Each structure stands twice: as C-alpha cells, then as structure tokens.
Structure 1
Amino acid sequence: MVDLQDDTPLSDDEIDVTPTRALFVEMLTRDIQLDRAVLDLVDNSIDGAKRLRPGHDSDLTGLELKIVLDSDKFEISDNCGGIGHDIARRYAFRFGRAKGMAATPGSVGQFGVGMKRALFKFGHRFEVVSTTISDEFVLRVNVDEWEQATGPWKFAFESSATGLSKPIENTGTTIRVSPLRSDTQAQFGSKTFQNALGRQIQSVQQQYLDRGLRIVFDGKSLLATPWKLLQGGGLEPMFTEDSLSIGVGEIKRRIYAGLGQSSPQEAGWYVFCNGRLILAADQSKTTGWERDEGSEGVTMPKFHGQFSRFRGYVFLDAEDASVLPWNTTKTGVDTDTDVWRNTYSEMRRAMRPIIDFLNKVSDENERPVNDRSLTEAIAKSMAVSVRSIVRSGPFSTPVARSGPKPPPWTSIQFSRPKSQVDELRTHYDAGSNSELGGILFDEAFKASDRN
C-alpha cells in the first residue's frame, strides 16, 4: 500500500481512494474489545507452540507464555519458536494474510489482523523482540508518528541478524506496549478487568492447558480444568467422530453430549475451532435451543433450568483454518456456512434424548425418594474428561423402574390468629406451622364423611 499525496500524478481517469493511516488504524481497532485483542496475541503464541509440536493432540509440556499488564504497560512473552526474520519482513506485519504465506497447520490465528490490531489498539508505542534458531530482530514503532507519516506503509527493524545458531529453548517472542492509550490504561489497571481476563484466557485456552502448555497471567499459572461428562451408573455420554470435506479442505469433527453437574450458568453447548473455545455454555438458538421443529425433524425446547445438567462439546479441527465456521474476533460462529448448518443438525439430534431423559428425571420428583431410579443413576455416575471417552455411540441411560404414577400434590394456604396457631402447634407437638397444617388436614380428612 502507498499513501498518495496531493502532488502525486493522477491521470484524468483516476480517482484517489487511498485511506489515511489514522483512519485505517481507527477502523481496524474500533470493533474489537480489549480482552479479545489480548486473546488474539495469546492465539499467536499458541500457533507458535503448534508449529514446534505439530499434531492434533501433541504434548505441549515445556512451552509457556507469560502475560503482564497494568496501567503503564502490556507485555506478552513466549518460548514458542519465534518469528522468522523473513516472515517478519514479508508477512507478519502485513494487514491481512498475504498471498504466499504458509499457514500454520491447524492454526488458531487465521485472518492476519490479530497482532497488528492489538498493538495499535493498546498504545502509542510498541516493541517486538523475536528469536528463532537461525535469526533475530528488534522492531520498535511509534504509532503516533507512523500514523502521520506519508509514503509506503512499512516499518523498519531497529536491529536484526540472520545465519545464527540458537538452541530451541532460547527461542521465542516478546511484545511490549507502552505508553498505553487512555482507555486501555483504565482497563488494564483495573483488578476487576484483570481478574475477568485471566478467567477468560483460562477458559478459552483450556484445551491447550490440558495438553501441558503453561500460561502465566499476572504471575500466576492458569489451571487446567478438563471438560467433563457424567459416566457410569448406567449413563453413557454420546460421542461421534467424522470428517467433512469443504472445498479443498477437510474438517475433523467430534461431538460429545451428556450430563454434567447441575449448574444453569455452565449448562449448554461449548464449541471449539482448532482447540480455541468459540462459544461457551451457549443456550441460544445458535446451538439449537429454540421451540420449533428443524429440518432434521427434531423438536427442541428453549433452554430453562430443568436442563441445567446438559453439556455438549463440539470440536472442529482443520489444517486450513479458513474452512472453519468462526468470525474474525473468534466470538461466534458463522451460521450461514454449510459446515455449521450440518453441525447444527447433528447437535439437535444429540440433544433430544438427553432432554427427554432430563424431563423424566424431573417427573421423578413426584415419586417417593426410594422410587427415583434415574436420579439414583446420576448419583452413582462420575465426571470424566471428554478426552478419556472412547465409546462411540448415542447417549445411553438405564431404564426407569415402572410403577403407578403417584397422584399429584397441591398446597393449601390459610391464616389464623398467631396465638391460636401457637397453642395448637404446642398441643400437637408440631415442629412448624407447615407440619401442623399437615396434621390438621389428615385429621379432618379421616373425620370427613366422604361417602
């Protein structure tokens, strides 16, 4: 890209449509929140880890990234292989993914805007220091000055070297931004924001933490808490695995669904693209929670508290990240893609037997405690990591014990003078007004002439 100037020759048929740098930066950064911009930089480090340890489920032990932020600065560093000198010159700092740049197989970063968008959004100056096994560079940019400059859109290394021989354990990238923009200062300096961001990183990168990657945020290592489903006691989660051919690419798809601990906040669908959590505890029509009959002939309800044990996990993995159904900020799915429409139908088919089971569990509440076989099955089950589930097949449950359904119950409410109620409660040795009401009703019912 080149900035045209007032005296740049234009033919009579040409019109200058070149954007100013300042406008371009504002447009690039306006529609992404600070937490998402940080996550983009984390994604870049994870892509470096995946280049070093390729493979769908490779062990990432020994690789780490550290994040420090406050009202003065932002810094992220990793030991994940670094950015090559030529990659930095030709591709890494381009706005958008340039043609000819080889993508990391199974990458999380896709569109080529994450790092630049974050750096421009965070502050007025940034520094990138990177070392690979064969080269290194230092790049320092004054964003305010660059925005006002004219001429070719380019940066310049402050120093660089090639033809080196570095041990792999000494490779990696460090990014520093300081001073920060005023709105960034306020949020990065807030403990509330910091705590929320730490939890968010731990959640969306859980699959990589579970594989051994160490992420240190504000001096503390984030914990791996594997996604789990209940198994045992006659319960077996649903699990399917298949592949989808999309143009020149292929998507490997795994879907798990079943029960978890009762929690309305954690219930719903979790969707991952190349290991990155895109949707968490989703209870919306995007993942099938809508009162209608879909094209697959499955009728679903809207989500409510009765389904607080439902858990579903969708893993979509592809060598070519561009075929995955995610948006540029990785905050949602593209519901218009063939991939998602097909996956959506499979998710609804997976949900229906689990919803039916939970409805039966709810109906058991009207039975005596010793006649709740499905509830007993849940109590006997154990939470296991989805990575440990190998049985392929539908959701499986024990058969509910059959028997006459107890008559429905209802409640009676009335008021009487407190002194009289207290006197009767003492007379009948009742522990509460509710217990007293039951005693009096039983007596009245026995004494009534119902013939």
Structure 2
Amino acid sequence: MVERKLEAGPSKRFFVEMLPRDISLEHAVLDLVDNSLDGAIRERISEIRGRNAKPYAGLQCALEISGDHFRISDNCGGIPDNRLDAALRLGRDDISIDDDKPTIGMYGIGMKRSIFKISQDATVVSKSATSTVTVRYDEEWLDPDNPDWTLTLQQEPPSPGEPGVSITANKIWPNISRIFRSTSFHDDLARALSRYYAYVIEKGFSITLNGHEIQPLPVEFRFEDNISPFYFETTNGKTKVRVIVGLFRKLTREDERESQTMSPDKAEIGSLKAGITVICNDRVIKYADTTATTGWGMGNVPRYHPQFRSIAGAIIFESDDARTLPVSTTKGDLEIDDAVYVLGLNAAMEGLRALTQFTNQFKGIEAVTDDLIATAKRASISEVTNRLSAVARADRKAGGSARKAPARLPQPEKRNPMVHMAFRRERSEVEEVANLLGMSTIDRPSVVAEQVWTDRLRSLGIIK
C-alpha cells in the first residue's frame, strides 16, 4: 500500500472565476452596499437597541458607476482592527464574529465575490478610529493559475476624514464595463436600491448613485381605527418574526383589472407594490412578491390576481445571529424550508386569506369602500408594529410567544348578489355606439356598455 498526501485546499480559480457566476451584477453591487450597512449597524448599535426612529441618521453610502469607473464609499466607521483579517480574506473561520449585532453578512465572501465580479484589479481602503488600512486585489493575485493567496496590507496611523470604507475598481472587466455604460442598468439599479434599502433609508441611512440620492419605495398600509392590517409576532430561538398584511390603496375595479392601468387614486401602478415583502435585519430580500414563496396559491390562499392589487404585506426577521436568518449567501433568495421562515410564511398565508376574502366580498361594489380606504392614513411598517404589538393577543394555535391582531376591515351590507357580464363586439361597432350616446370613442368599452345598459333600464322604467 502506498500513502501520499493530497493538498485538498480550495482552488484559486473557483473563487475568482466560478464563485462570481453565482451572483448577478446587480446583486454584486447590492452586496457591497450591504457591507456599508453592516458597518452602519456596528456604528449605531446602541441607537438601534434603543428603538431610535432614525438610528442611521448621518451615515451614507455613495456609488459612482460609469463605463470606466466604479467606486463605493461610506462613512460607516471603517473596519475595526480586530475584524480586518476576517473582512479581507476569503471566508471566515469564526462566523460568530458579529453574532451580537443584527448584521447580514455571515460567511465573509460577499465583498470579495463582488470585487471579483466587477474588476480585474481593485483597491480597498478602510479608515477606522485606530488606523488606515489599504489592500489591493491586483491582476497577479487574481490570476486563477497563481496559487499564492497572500495579501499585503499597508497599515498606517488614522488619517483625516470620516472613518469609513472605499472600494475602487482599477480595471473593470470589459463585459461589465459595457453594462455599466447602459442607462437601463443604472435605472434598474436605482429601483433596486429604492426597494431593497427602503427600510433603512426611512431610518436615516443615505444612499447616492452618481450623486443622486435614492428615494425609498417603502411598504405602507392604510391604518385607522376602523381599518387596520393583520399583525403577527413570535420568537423562534434567536429570531424575532413579525408579519403584517393589509391594504395600501383602494380596491381594484373590474375595468382597472382589465386594462392594467394606474389606480383611481393616482398611486403608482398597483402591481409594482402589491404582494409580500420579506425583510431580514432591515434588508429587503424579496420585494412585493406574488408567488408561492410568500404564500400566494398555497393551501387555501388563491393565486395572485390583479383583483388583489390593493394588498401588501411584510414578513420581517430580526436576529443578532445572521446564521439564523432564512437567507441565502447571495441575499437574493430565501431558504423557504427553514423552520423560522415557515413560521412567517404560515402567518402571511393567514393574513392573505383574510384580505383576499375581503376583496371577494366587495367584488363589483368596490366603490363602497373608497372613502374609507382613501381617508385612512398611510402607516409605515414601524408605525404598524408599534401600534399593533401593543394590542396583539396570545395566539393559542401557534403557541409559544406568538401573538396576533386580526385585520379590521369593513363588512358589506346584505345585498342582492352582483354578477359580472362580459361579451365581445367589433371595435368599430363600439365606437359607433359611443358616438350615438355622445361619449368619447376613447372611453373604455366596459364604460360604453354600462351606459347602454343604464339607458335601457331607464327607458323601461326600472330605474330613474
């Protein structure tokens, strides 16, 4: 028998070529913003613990992106000396290094994977209260055939300016450069930043893209004494779970469902905000999701349909140990089989059942609820949580620490059942009828048909 030793360590090629393929360019940029957010959490942990409404006020992350330039910088405290090795090497040996704070990073690959995705050569500079550290991932080091993993850190005394981290791409990959030149990429990234960081922007964190401040697209709910969302909260091990499902706009009328147009109250198109948003430690993982991932079409919850465009919700997970969050390493997907996620999912389904049943009850008479919903104030996730957590009662079915508050929604008066009538006619015929009725030919066919019906009922003396 012959014994020999095998070097079974990781391949440089796997890390610098294969690992970046697991993440989209958009999510690679978001991962770098996540690092700034983690720094902000470390800087403001006392304000976060104290439930300060704006714990991140004054902290910011700036993105500069063009075809030949990429830089991200923040003023979020820099990398502490005792975290430098973990932050700059590929992967963490000690993944509990931040398990006393509600950060997102877990495995120590996010920043490096993003750098490898974007650039052939990049420089990281960290200014902390105790030192300024510079490290360069250059072309030689990133060469897949170079077996050397050693990085050279230049550490100097603290330098002037606010503590923070900057990452500069010295040589962007040609294919990435082409994408960075695209206006559509910049537009898509701005929308993603507005959605995925809406929660922290509302809490005072500032993000700019090429000098333009990102405005949040937060999840909001209509909230008054006689109309309020479904609310659920519980704790599973180290993780706090909260679920909110409610209305964010007026109910969708039949003609709006057919035409997919802007809502009557001039809100943004409902389908862009309807659905369930999943948040982990202040970071949105899924925005306005309308798939089975967040309960739509599961059990006795109907599949998403334009009829439900007034329904929004949030499943919120908070933990000081990021390993207990139901999120993938790319932070772009969820571990839906995780026990803590199933807890949140089941509660979201309960809320969806109540809200979809409500829209069914008012189908065809949506206008009855217009004033009630339109005059109800808009409330943020934080406002809803603060108000409903105080009145939630123990949920015996869920057991443990689970508490919930059922949705408060108007009930329809007893009435003759409404029916939907639909038929098809040639456009020219509809336009001719519209002209005869003195209506505009650009009116929706359903409006013309309803006018014909109304006029006929009047001629028969059925209505006045």
Q: Deviations over 1:1-28 (max 9, x none)?
A: xxxxxxxxxx833334445423431111
Task: Determine whether 1:33 maps to 2:24.
Answer: yes
SS at match of 1:178: strand
Percent identity between matched residues is 27
Task: Determine whether 1:212 maps to 2:204.
Answer: yes
1:346 Cα shift? 1.1
Q: Deviations over 1:209-232 (max 9, x none)?
A: 111111111111112344210123
TM-score, scaled to structure 2:
0.80
1:361 Cα shift? 1.8
The partner residue of 2:134 within 110, 132, 138 is: 138
12 and 305 in structure 1: CA distance in 2 versus 1, 3 angstrom threshold: same
Q: Tell me if structure 1 keeps the 8 A contact 2:228–2:409.
A: yes
SS at match of 1:258: strand
The partner residue of 2:288 within 263, 268, 281 is: 281
In 2, distance between residues paired with 1:170 and 1:410?
66
1:86 Cα shift? 4.5
Task: Determine whether 1:117 maps to 2:117.
Answer: no
Q: Tell me if structure 2 keeps the 8 A contact 1:374–1:400.
A: no
Aligned to 1:83: 79
TM-score, scaled to structure 1:
0.82
Q: Deviations over 1:132-163 (max 9, x none)?
A: 11111121231344425655411102x3125x
In 2, distance between residues paired with 1:62 and 1:284?
37
SS at match of 1:300: coil
Q: How many residues align?
A: 408
Amino acid aligned to 2:307? Q
Aligned to 2:241: 253
In 1, distance between residues paired with 2:351 and 2:221?
14
Q: Tell me if structure 2 keeps the 8 A contact 1:85–1:136.
A: no
In 2, distance between residues paired with 1:126 and 1:439?
70
1:309 Cα shift? 0.5
Q: Deviations over 1:190-245 (max 9, x none)?
A: 11101211221121011111111111111111123442101237211122232111
SS at match of 1:362: coil
* Runs of 4+ that moved beyond 6 A: 411-415, 443-446
Q: Tell me if structure 2 keeps the 8 A contact 1:124–1:142.
A: yes
The partner residue of 1:395 within 381, 393, 407 is: 407
Aligned to 2:87: 92
Q: Tell me if structure 1 keeps the 8 A contact 2:244–2:348.
A: no
Aligned to 1:12: 3
Decide which structure has the larger Cα Rg and report it. Answer: 1
The partner residue of 1:24 within 5, 8, 15 is: 15
Q: Deviations over 1:20-57 (max 9, x none)?
A: 42343111111111111111110001111111100254
Amino acid aligned to 1:80? C
Q: Tell me if structure 2 keeps the 8 A contact 1:81–1:131.
A: yes
1:101 Cα shift? 5.9
SS at match of 2:365: helix
SS at match of 2:340: helix
185 and 402 in structure 1: CA distance in 2 versus 1, 3 angstrom threshold: same
In 2, distance between residues paired with 1:214 and 1:437?
55
Q: Tell me if structure 2 keeps the 8 A contact 1:40–1:109.
A: no
Task: Determine whether 1:199 maps to 2:191.
Answer: yes
Task: Determine whether 1:354 maps to 2:355.
Answer: yes
SS at match of 1:170: coil
- RMSD (CA atoms): 3.0
**Long gaps (5+) in structure 2:** 250-262, 264-269, 393-404, 440-447
In 2, distance between residues paired with 1:68 and 1:256?
36
435 and 242 in structure 1: CA distance in 2 versus 1, 3 angstrom threshold: closer
